[in-house]
Every structure is written in C-alpha cells, then in structure tokens.
Structure 1
Amino acid sequence: MSSEEKKNTAVVLTAGDAELTVDPADGCRIESLRIGGTEVLRRPENGKHFGSFPMVPWCGRTENGRFRDGDKVHQLPVNSPPHAIHGTGRDTRWRTAVRDTASASFTYDLTSPWPYAGRVTQLFDLTPDALTLTLGVETYDDSFPAQVGWHPWFRRNLGGQDVTLDFTAAWQEERGEDHLPTGRRVDPRPGPWDDCFGMPDGVDVTLTWPGELEIRVTSREEWVVVYDEQEAAVCVEPQTGPPNGLNTLPRLVTPVDPLEASTTWTWRRLG
C-alpha cells in the first residue's frame, strides 16, 4: 500500500499530546503512536515488522499450519514455513464502525482461509497517558477455537537511550528447535528472547528508555511473548494463550460466549 493510500484510509485519534494513527485497510494496524511528538513504534521500513498489529484468530505459530477441532483437522496457509503465524487479521481490510476524537472501533468478518464464520471487533481508546486496546471474536453459528493478542514493535532506542524491560514471570514456556513450546514450563531465563512467559496474575511488563519515557503494558491475560532479537525494536505481546495454542490450549468461541481480551499501555515522560 502506497503512502498516499495510507493517508486516505488512516484514522487519527488524539488526546492531550498523544496521537494514534490506525489504518483499517492495512490489517487494522497501529501505524504510529506519538507521545509528546516522539514516535514510540517502529516505522514501516521492514515489511510487516512495524507499528502494532492484532493477532487474530490465532497468535504466534500454529504447528505446520494445522489444528484440530474435535474430529476435524484444518489446514491454514503456511506463511512462516513450516508454520502458520499470527492469524489472518493483519492481512485483512477492516471496516470503520465508529470513531470520534479519541476512540474508534473496527470490524471484519472471518472468512477463508479461516474455516469458520464469525466477526472480529477491535476497539481503541486513547487518553493523554494511556491506550486501551480490546479485541473480540464472536460467532453466530458453529463454535470454534481461537486466540487473540497484539504484536507491537516498540523502538529499541529513544533519544539515544536503549530500552530496558522489567517483568516477573511465574514460568517460561520451554522453546523447542521448531520455535514452538515443548509443553514444559521452566524457570524464566535471561534474554535475548523469542519466548512465551506465564503471568497468572495478569501480564505486566514495563519498558523504560532512561531519561525519556516509560510504558507499562498490562492485561488480565496470563500469557505474553517477549521478542528482542532484532536490533531496531522489541516486542511485548499480550495474548490469550501460548504459541500453538489452537492445538494445546484452545479457547472456545460459542454463540453465547465470545472471546474478548484487552491490553492497556500506560506511559509517563521521564525527561
């Protein structure tokens, strides 16, 4: 998508000195979050590795692109061989449902290659010192397993200062050579990470750029993937289950019990 097309489809929200840009035509991705004029997310210079995108209807890798629902085995496109990764929402054009100065909601209907019908909704609520994101998946027909989460690309360096990460996890999912959890829980290990951590009391991770900015990422969900293996960015990804969770820890979406999750990023200036 060209920069001119992005300009024509983007939705800009403001609150105080915070400015959020969302592009529903580009997977309902956050294209930009500026706080006091400072961009805190990686910009679109490296494929899909920028901004912040929703992971739906699954998070992280699904083993070999296959998942089982009862006696049915479904095949998803293998977009990160040998696995399917991060859902279909980031590759979909969403519809703007409601928007005002500081909040907006967007939807899209699940369709092929996802094998079940349903609707996804994402809400954005911006205040001068926080952003709350909410994702929901609902079905009007068949029940199905699903996951939701967020994949932000925070800039590693702001104002000449590299970010530090602070969090306390109850466990780390042991990662196999195929980048999937082995099913064993181990004591948290030092980074660098491309790993899933368990936080039974809810996700709580603080990113600090000394003398510049602090952002605290929280969620009632107990799973977070931390990825800091790239030079330019770090990722803190709250989600409703671990990678390959469609197979190992499915959350069932039913007509009377939709799947909904939220995360809040709260910030304060340090300079």
Structure 2
Amino acid sequence: MSSSSEEIRLAAGTAEVGVQPGNGCRLGSLTVDGVELLRQGERYGSFPMVPWCGRTRDGRFRNGGTLHQLPVNSPPHAIHGTARDAAWKTARQSPTEAVFTYDLTDPWPYPGRVTQVVELTEDALTLRMAIETYGDSFPAQAGWHPWFNRHLAGGDGGQDDSGVQLSFTPAWQEQRGDDHLPTGTRVAPTPAPWDDCFGMPGGVDVTLTWPGRLELNVASREEWVVVYDEPADAVCVEPQTGPPNGLNTLPRLVTPLEPLETSTTWTWRRL
C-alpha cells in the first residue's frame, strides 16, 4: 500500500507532473516551465472519479434486480466514486510514465480492479483508466476531475489579471434540477457560470486559454464533460464516460469479457 505522502514524479522537457498514489492517485501537481496549472491542496489537483462520476441519486443504484446503497458523502447523494479516498499501488514507473492499480472493495459491492496510466511528453499528458471485474458484471463510470488554476502565477510571483477563458461547443446541456442531477431533458447550452454536464458526441474538446501565457486542450473520445467554473480560484473540466447519476440513467456494464476503458489527453502550447 502506498503511503499518503509518497509522490511519483514524471518529467519531459519543461513539463513535470507529480502523482500521489496514497491520496486517491490524484495528480498533485502539473507544471509547465515551472508554472503550476493545478489548484494546490490535499483535495484538489486532479483526481480519478471511479467507479462512478459526479452524483449518484440518494447513493443508490441497481444492477439488474439488486438495489445497492452507497455511502451518502455529499447529502443527499454519493459523489465522485470511492477511489479518490483510497490508497493505490504503484505497479511500475519510468521517467515519463507510471502505472497504478486500485482493487475495488467496500463500500463498492463488486470486486474488481482499476488501473490508471499516466504518460507525460513535452507538450501533452495522457491519462488512461480501465475497470475490470473479478466476477459478476456491474455498471460503472470513470472520469477525471481536474482543478485548473483560474490564474497562473506570474514570473514575478504575482498573478496575471485576466484569468482563464474556456472555449467549447457542446451539442447540448443536461438540464440540471434543484438536486444538482440531470432531469433527463437536453437543453441549449446556457452562459456561464456552470456546474453542468454537456454532451459532445464527437468527443470531449475543451480549450482553456490563459491569455498571453498558455493554451491547454482537454480531449477525450467520450461524449460527456462536466464543467464547473463557479469557484473564484479554479475551473474544472471533467471528461467522463457518462452523465451524473449515470449508474442509474445510462449504465455501462463492466463484464468479464469487456472492461470499461477510457482516456483523456491534455495538450498545451505556449502563447
């Protein structure tokens, strides 16, 4: 088991990433030219959401005729999976790539394994995740929850003034109910601020631009992305395999023959 303080460092060119397997296998840091892109703090950085993403209504989901109850860690719902609160194991590492595993266990009712691969190049970070079952098939989701800094630290230790700008063209927005879950109705995208799920059938494609500094693109073959830009100091762009409450509304089964596999690539360029 990894200790909570262990950090795996990867480096390529002037890009560096720090992975914390003992802290939910989150990225604790991503720097380009020495500038930190992720919000710092034990609960921030960028963490994998697995085996579900976002909120699951009342912490309950069905697998066939069996009703399961998950811990309600964001009342009245269960949020962001169990793996972000667990210690992962480091399977292998090189200077630019590392592989981590997490065995699903209580409170998740089905045994299985999650694998996350972190791969860094000079201008891109690729994250891959797979969920396998050790027995019965079960519904699951996987995704990532990065907290990008709204402002990048300046070369003099100050802050730039304009803050990050988001650019994306979703086909629809999931209408959000008072309980923060999609109602099942798709609506035309609304203006920011957002804590909302969007549909991008051609694949997730969201660009974050820090004017005059850096442009970063978040891409994934998945068609679901949650954008959360309400905090004053961070924005979240979360590619995932289904919408919030998807264990109930759009289940994707992990079977002995077919694991759930997903990935996201973040590519940057200097401005």
TM norm structure 1: 0.95
**Aligned CA distance change for structure 1 residues 12 and 39 (closer, same or farther; 3 Å):** same
Distance 1:241 1:164 in 2: 25
List aligned pairs for 1:242-261, cutoff 5 A: 242-261=243-262
Q: 1:60 aligns with which of 43, 48, 54?
A: 54
Per-residue CA distance 1:111-151 (angstroms, 9 max, x = gap): 00000000000000100000000010001310000000000
Displacement, 1:205? 0.1
Kindly report the root-mean-square deviation, in angstroms, between the aligned alpha carbons of the 2 structures.
0.9
Match of 1:179 in 2: 180
Aligned runs of 1:1-271 on 2, under 5 Å? 6=5, 9-44=6-41, 48=43, 50-158=44-152, 159=154, 160=160, 161-270=162-271
Q: Which runs of 5+ in 1 are unaligned?
A: none
Structure-2 separation of matches of 1:138 and 1:69: 16
Distance 1:194 1:262 in 2: 22
Report the Cα offset of residue 210 of structure 1.
0.2
Q: For 1:102 and 1:140, locate their aligned partners in 2 and report how far apart those are by CA, in whole Å.
A: 30
Could you report, residue by residue, the CA deviation over 1:14-71 in whole angstroms, capped at 9, with x for unpaired residues?
A: 0000000001000000000010000000011xx62x2000000000000000001111
For 1:93 and 1:39, the matched residues in 2 are separated by 24
- Separation in 1, partners of 2:216, 2:21: 24
Structure 1 letter corresponding to 2:27: I
Are residues 80 and 5 of structure 1, via their aligned partners in 2, closer, same or farther at CA, if it must alter by over 3 Å? closer
Q: Partners of 1:228 and 1:23 in 2: how far apart?
A: 25
SS at match of 2:84: helix
Please tell me the residue identity of whatever aligns with 1:238: P
Equivalent residue letter for 2:254:
V
Percent identical: 69
Whole-Å separation in 1 of the counterparts to 2:76 and 2:134: 32
Letter in 2 for 1:104: A
Which residue identity does 1:96 align to in structure 2? Answer: T
Tell me the amino acid that sits aligned with residue 10 of structure 2. Answer: L
Q: Which residue identity is paired with 2:15?
A: A
Instruction: Quote the offset at 1:5 in angstroms.
Output: 5.5
| TM superposition shift of 1:91 | 0.4
Amino acid aligned to 1:116: Y
Secondary structure in structure 2 of the residue aligned to 1:191: coil
SS of equivalent to 1:247: helix
Q: Secondary structure at the match of 1:90?
A: helix
Report the Cα offset of residue 237 of structure 1: 0.1
Aligned mates of 1:29, 1:190 — CA distance in 2: 30
Q: Distance in 1 between matches of 2:102 and 2:146?
A: 20
Q: Which amino acid in structure 1 is aligned with residue 124 of structure 2?
A: A
Query: TM-score w.r.t. structure 2 length?
Result: 0.95
